[in-house]
Structure 1
Amino acid sequence: MPPSRIILADVIAILTFAILARLAHNTPEAPFTTLNVLGTFWPFLLGGITGHAICYATKKPTLPIAPGGLIIWLSTAITGLGIWALRHGELPHWSFIIVASIMSGLLLIGWRGLTNMRAKTKS
């Protein structure tokens, strides 16, 4: 799979994460709007880009689950949650850390797992 498609798949996974997060936290104070989705999206996207840069700099492939997918997932979760903490002036609640980490992992690692399974069934 070309690198541009891998990056696009990760962007879609992170955008899906942001949409699901905003839907789950849709309140009158923070309604589900494009701006609120983008406010959730950009910190995690920055983390995903950082993960891709780490893989590129260390010559780790980004498609397999390990090590590239794990690097991108951890970078996405850590950066996104770190920026959240800076924006809010406090650490996220432990439950938010767990849910954000699991959901971003399911989406970023999940599509890689499906791609691997599909490739195995074709061969």
Structure 2
Amino acid sequence: MPSSTRGSLLPVSAAVIDAALILLFAAIGRDTHQRGESVLGVLATAWPFLAGAAAGWLIARAWRAPLGTWPVGVVIWISTVAGGVLLRLASGHTAAAAFIVVALITLAVFLLGYRLLWVLVLRLRTSRRRS
């Protein structure tokens, strides 16, 4: 595969991973609160956070360095939570303080975690090549 094709797949792959992790967050939350696991229910829970993540991608211009932790990953994470909570409230749902804390922690682990793992893998590969 030409390097230009691989380079254009990276932002798409990172966006898909972000979306999948946000959907996982919503599914876990719904399951924890025994609301059922219907696809529409998960999407109803996830859409504000997906919209927040999309805003974060635009704010951070994440397509330039989609797997960067700072500032890209942090901007996406904060935008996901802030946008998600604000849109959730605007659409008539609740957002208790405990929910916000859980969202901050869980989405940090998800959205920053895989980016940090990526950096670690790249560093390990680079150090092995030098040895």
Structural RMSD (CA): 1.9
> Which residue in 1 is equivalent to 2:109?
106
Instruction: Give the alignment partner of residue 16 of structure 1, picking from 24, 32, 37.
Output: 24
Extract unaligned runs of 5+ from structure 2: 1-6, 127-131
> SS state of the match for residue 88, structure 1?
coil
Extract unaligned runs of 5+ from structure 1: none
Instruction: Name the structure, 1 or 2, with higher relative contact order (CA <8 Å, separation 6+).
Output: 1
Q: How many angstroms does 1:88 deviate by?
A: 2.5
Give the TM-score normalised by the residue count of structure 1: 0.87
Look at both structures and tell me which one has the larger radius of gyration over its CA atoms.
2
Contact map agreement 1:55 1:61 (CA 8 A) in 2: no
TM superposition outliers: structure 1 runs of 4+ over 6 Å: none
1:89 & 1:39 partners in 2: Cα distance? Answer: 11
> Which residue in 1 is equivalent to 2:45?
40
Instruction: Give the alignment partner of residue 64 of structure 1, picking from 65, 68, 72.
Output: 68
Which structure shows the bigger proportion of residues in helix conformation?
Answer: 2
Give the TM-score normalised by the residue count of structure 2: 0.82
| Corresponding pairs, count | 118
